Amino acid sequence: MEEIEFIFESTTEAMDSSIEHLGNELKKISTGRATPVMLEGIRVDAYGALRPLNLVANVNATDSVTLSI
């Protein structure tokens, strides 16, 4: 019985992680308009370490096709 509960918990964690990853990837899909989320995975060298772009600079969508960094 404990083995079944362990399998259920580990499977639930793996599925939740997969769903979260899918949601993050779907945010990056271009739908014809620019969004700051498209640049979330970009890291830049700042202050001697790699940091996410959105922590180093402001990223804004000025219109539907332009991102301002």
Residues 6 and 20 in one domain: yes
Together in a domain, 44 and 25: no
Q: Are residues 20 and 40 in the same domain?
A: no
> How far is Cα 22 from Cα 55, in angstroms, rounded to an integer?
23
Do residue 35 and residue 67 come from a single domain? yes
Same domain, yes or no, for 25 and 40? no
**What is the reported pLDDT for 16?**
96
Total count of domains within the chain: 2
Kindly tell me the burial class for residue 66, based on how many C-beta atoms sit within 10 Å of its own C-beta (0-12, 13-18, 19 or more).
exposed
Among the residues of 1-69, which ranges form H helices?
2-27, 53-56
pLDDT in tens, 16-61: 999 999 988 887 776 778 888 888 889 999 989 999 998 999 999 9
Q: Are 7 and 25 found together in one domain?
A: yes
State whether 14 and 35 are in the same domain.
no
Q: Which pLDDT score, from 0 to 100, does residue 58 have?
A: 93
Residues 6+ apart with CB under 8 A from 30: 38
**Domain with 8 in it:** 1-29
